Amino acid sequence: MKIVVDSMGGDQGVKEVVQGSIAAANELGVEIVLVGKKDIIEYELDKNNYHGNKIEILHADEVIQNDESPSIAIRKKKNSSMVVGLNSLKEGVGDAFISAGNTGSLLAGGIFLVKRIEGIERAAIVSLYPTKSGVSILLDAGANVDSKPEYLEQFAIMGSVYCEKVLGIASPKVGLINVGTEKEKGNILVKEAYSLLESANINFYGNIEARDIPEGVVDVMVCDGFVGNVILKLTEGLGQSIFSALKEEITKNFSSESSTLFLKPEFEAFKQRFDYREYGGAPLLGLKKPVIKAHGSSDALAFKNAIKQAKIMVEEDVIDKIELDINIVK
Amino acid sequence: MKIVVDSMGGDQGVKEVVQGSIAAANELGVEIVLVGKKDIIEYELDKNNYHGNKIEILHADEVIQNDESPSIAIRKKKNSSMVVGLNSLKEGVGDAFISAGNTGSLLAGGIFLVKRIEGIERAAIVSLYPTKSGVSILLDAGANVDSKPEYLEQFAIMGSVYCEKVLGIASPKVGLINVGTEKEKGNILVKEAYSLLESANINFYGNIEARDIPEGVVDVMVCDGFVGNVILKLTEGLGQSIFSALKEEITKNFSSESSTLFLKPEFEAFKQRFDYREYGGAPLLGLKKPVIKAHGSSDALAFKNAIKQAKIMVEEDVIDKIELDINIVK
């Protein structure tokens, strides 16, 4: 098995990508194709004393920046690490592609180059959401901000397959994010989606309210991309804000910095629960090959875990299973 | 000035309503009309040794329950405390109405009995959102789950008036909740709303992302009711979940209950910042008279603060100002 990794996309530089890839090659038994500027990648491999035969380099001159228009960048920058990587995936050089680069470009490139699975109307971004009871997945996390009920139905099916195959949850519970739990609640979109989900071949739990998200009452949370994006960003913002407010209170009342030091291990253990690096990246589901968006600030550990996640997606034939389940429905 | 208060709607019983009303009558110099079962209200007034002349009782036999269909309940239960209260407001018996009862019924009753201001397309629920820098308001918090761009424009105008007149913020900053800060981001609804807000007579800040909500970057946050409801419920759920996770970590590592006791004042001070009781209730804006939805579990303090809020709305002529600003726009 060969995983193609975009070496240029992360905020933390090539170093972290290379270190994560070395760890993955050594520990997971996968081969890695590092796409990007050859001399920089060679330099980093050397610095880390890697002389094995499980990592190869695919040279790409350009880099897509975060402020570029996604679809224009994909069309114009044919020598960018992202486009070269996606094309190598398409041509069968590797089995999966990982990039920490611009989400919009990766999505546009995935749809344009790797293409959608037959029968899939829209690709979705899947976010792994840490909960009280473990981890749930949420989709769509922002790819489709004007969804139709049929998209939500497909998100539910794709999410179920991912959850079962990659997270190992048998018959995962699928919930529809809504303003109330009763069937008749919601806007036009979710009301129509509810009927579709009821008759889909999934373990449909019903509606869930946003207050239940952190509890992990379901395994797969389905929503429109606008709502999904709001949920993820609010979770991030509130986590930081509650955390710093509490720290401030404690520091204020103990009137010394020692209190913060004193509580440090507790805060760290707490933060660990919400550490995205442990969960891998965000898969883009609905494409013909596995494509994973790694967090922009991914370090070596995060890249290694994203590679592990890609490996499971390939081993478990997630794409074929999605294609099967989507087309059974029709 | 006379504030009409539904005595029967709260989860904590008539006792808390009566105690809050007595405090308001004594401290704020307002007159109160308590609507509900006369004997129970008299019993509670007696128990609290109230013998003043600032509180009167308006008898109502029935109570609208939380599980009733809002519009049916409003039409059928003509002797309910909510309908009697709203009618008394409409007929000028009082200047504002407060209820901790079912939100849907209060909204339906407000629109059906008190009626919308001329020119207002939809009434909105306003939520007071505690932030790092104080408090912002968010609307719509759930009244309109299928909004049109024009509704969002009116929410922005109504929110600005409320913020300026009741919270005393001069030229309040209005932000549109979106998936990115750039103008061209978003779904069809917010893209069209952006253009309307740009040319509206408000201090338009632009788009804000959900991660910035807890920071309080704007004073008025505008969104569709579906999104607003998700934001509020997720905030509630995450607050509880982060709080209990952190407590668990601390208790676990200090291996004794004394650690929790030890940190109690810090946790309490922290919780205080997010205490809805301090901020009053959720005004329903767009109606011809001030109507405030008090939190279902309001205690005496929360009722007193909701009455204070109603008093300011009346004193500052919030309704007239909204009518003026909405109709200038056209």
Residues counted in chain A: 330
CB-based contact A201:A329 (threshold 8 Å): yes
Q: Is A264 on the interface with B (CB under 8 A)?
A: no
Most distant pair of Cα atoms in chain B: their distance: 65
Ordered by where they begin, the domains of chain B are 1-120+286-317 (3.40.718.10), 125-278 (3.40.718.10)
Cis check for the bond before B146: say yes or no (omega within 30 of 0): no
Check CB contact of A50 with chain B, cutoff 8 Å.
no
How many angstroms separate the CA atoms of A115 and A273, rounded? Answer: 35
Amino acid at the residue B74: I
CB neighbour class for A240 (10 Å; exposed up to 12, middle 13-18, buried from 19): middle
Residues of chain B positioned with their CB less than 8 A from the CB of A250: 263, 266
Q: How far is residue B153 CA from its own chain's centroid? A: 19
Distant-in-sequence, close-in-space partners of A313: CB < 8 Å, separation ≥ 6: A96, A162, A165, A166, A283, A290, A292, A319
ipTM of the complex: 0.92
CB proximity B291 to A under 8 Å: no
Q: Computed over its alpha carbons, how large is the radius of gyration of chain A?
A: 21
A235 contacts B234? CB cut-off 8 A: yes
Cβ atoms < 10 Å from Cβ of A195 = 12
Rounded to two decimals, the pTM is 0.93
Structural contact between residues A81 and A9, judged by C-beta atoms closer than 8 angstroms: yes
Give the closest residue to A230 by CA, choosing from B241, B127, B223, B236.
B223
Rounded to whole angstroms, the Cα distance separating A174 from A163 reads: 10
User: What tens-digit pLDDT sequence spans chain B (330 residues)?
Assistant: 999 999 998 899 999 999 999 999 999 999 999 999 999 999 999 999 999 999 999 999 999 998 899 999 999 999 999 999 999 999 999 999 999 999 999 999 999 999 999 999 999 999 999 898 889 999 999 999 999 999 999 999 999 999 999 999 999 999 999 999 999 999 999 999 999 999 999 999 999 999 999 999 999 999 999 999 999 999 989 888 877 777 777 666 665 555 555 566 666 666 666 666 777 899 999 999 999 999 988 999 999 999 999 999 999 999 999 999 999 855
Contact at 8 Å (CB) between B56 and B31? yes
Please, which residues 131-160 of chain A have a Cβ atom closer than 8 Å to chain B? 132, 142, 145-146
CB pairs under 8 A between A and B: 138
> What is the tens place of the pLDDT at every residue in A172-209?
999 999 999 999 999 999 999 999 999 999 999 999 99
A228 contacts on B by Cβ (under 8 Å): none
- Residue A166, judged by CB atoms within 10 A of its CB (0-12, 13-18, 19+), counts as buried
Q: What is the DSSP track for B272-326?
A: HHT-GGGG--EEEETBSS-EEE--TT--HHHHHHHHHHHHHHHHTTHHHHHHHHH
Contact of A224 with A179, CB cutoff 8 Å:
no
Distance CA B281, CA B264 (A): 27
Which residue in B179, B245, B267 is closest to A270 by CB distance?
B245
Instruction: Give the number of other Cβ atoms within 10 Å of residue A131's Cβ.
Output: 18
Query: Are B132 and A245 within 8 A, CB to CB?
Result: yes
What is Dmax (Cα atoms) for chain A? 65
* Residue to test with chain A: of B211, B224, B244, B259, most A Cβ within 10 A: B211
Cβ pair B237:A211 closer than 8 A: yes
